[in-house]
């Protein structure tokens, strides 16, 4: 993903310490690595602090409260999603009320999106064990 300016990194650090109830609830579920995917909270990418991110799947997860439904925020969200897409990062959005009402359905949707975007094969660890006799790397 893209490098983030220092201002965004500081914002993300501050946001990790706070958070609305829906984000906190989702974070406690994502920390358990559902589907075997690792998630980050308030991850800075290219000038944006993503609510949650799965780096392996190049997926941003945004939790939108009522403020995202008003005025110029819709346009700002679209521009952000477009900028992230240019970096190869897909964005999925959930309403905060949906996270609170049905957390299991939100987790299932996130895991499904991660599986859809995850690479089929993972590169071997660089410092892994040497190949066994007769094996070729």
Radius of gyration of the chain (CA): 17
Torsion sign over Cα 35, 36, 40, 41: positive
pLDDT over 60 (residue 125): no
Domain count, the chain: 1
pLDDT over 60 (residue 12): no
In a domain, 132, yes or no: no
Q: In a 3-state reduction of DSSP, which class is residue 63?
A: strand
In a domain, 129, yes or no: no
What confidence category does residue 6 fall into, taking pLDDT thresholds of 50, 70 and 90? low
The CATH number of residue 20's host domain is: 3.40.960.10
Are 1 and 9 a contacting pair, CB within 8 Å? Answer: no
pLDDT digit string, tens, across residues 97-124:
999 999 999 999 999 999 999 887 655 5
Percent of the chain at pLDDT exceeding 70: 67
Are 101 and 68 a contacting pair, CB within 8 Å? Answer: no
In a domain, 62, yes or no: yes
Quick one: pLDDT at residue 40? 93
Higher pLDDT, 14 or 118: 118
Are 137 and 123 a contacting pair, CB within 8 Å? Answer: no
DSSP H/E element including 55: none
pLDDT digit string, tens, across residues 41-91:
988 888 888 999 999 999 999 998 765 455 556 778 888 899 999 999 999
């Amino acid at each position: 993903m893209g490098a983030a300016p220092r201002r965004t990194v500081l914002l993300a650090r501050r946001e990790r310490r706070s958070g609305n109830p829906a984000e906190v609830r989702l974070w406690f579920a994502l920390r358990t690595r559902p589907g075997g995917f690792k998630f980050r909270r308030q991850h800075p990418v290219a000038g944006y602090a993503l609510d949650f991110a799965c780096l392996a799947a190049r997926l941003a997860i945004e939790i939108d409260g009522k403020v995202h439904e008003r005025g110029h925020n819709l346009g700002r969200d679209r521009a952000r999603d477009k900028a992230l897409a240019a970096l190869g990062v897909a964005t999925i959005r959930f309403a905060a009320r949906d996270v609170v009402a049905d957390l299991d359905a939100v987790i299932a949707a996130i895991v499904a999106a991660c599986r859809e975007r995850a690479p089929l094969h993972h590169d071997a660890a660089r410092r892994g064990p040497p190949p066994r006799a007769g094996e070729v790397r």
